[in-house]
Amino acid sequence: MSEQSPAVVFIGAPASGKTRIGKRVAKSLELPFVDTDARVVAAHGPIPAIFEQHGEPRFRELERAEVARALTEHAVVSLGGGAVLDEQTQRDLASVRVVLLTTSPDAVAARLDNEKRPLLKDGVDAWVRLVEARRPIYERLATRTWDTSSRPIQHIADEIAAWVRDADGARPTETEENR
- Model-level pTM? 0.86
69 is in an annotated binding site: no
pLDDT at 114: 46
18 is in an annotated binding site: yes
97 is in an annotated binding site: no
pLDDT band at 127 (very low <50, low <70, confident <90, very high): confident
Segment 27-64, tens digit of pLDDT:
999 999 999 999 999 999 999 899 899 999 999 999 99
The domain spans of the chain are 8-178
- Does position 117 have pLDDT exceeding 60, yes or no? no
Segment 5-35, tens digit of pLDDT:
899 999 999 889 999 999 999 999 999 999 9
165 is in an annotated binding site: no
Residue pair 120/130 in contact by the 8 Å Cβ criterion: yes
17 is in an annotated binding site: yes
CATH 3.40.50.1000 is held by the domain 8-178 = no
20 is in an annotated binding site: yes
Segment 88-105, tens digit of pLDDT:
999 999 999 999 999 998
81 is in an annotated binding site: yes
Percent of the chain with pLDDT over 70: 84
Q: What does the H/E/C string look like for the chain? A: CCCCCCCEEEEECCCCCHHHHHHHHHHHHCCCEEEHHHHHHHHHCCHHHHHHHHCHHHHHHHHHHHHHHHCCCCCEEECCCCHHHCHHHHHHHCCCCEEEEECCHHHHHCCCCCCCCHHHCCCHHHHHHHHHHHHHHHHHHCCEEEECCCCCHHHHHHHHHHHHHCCCCCCCCCCEEEC
171 is in an annotated binding site: no
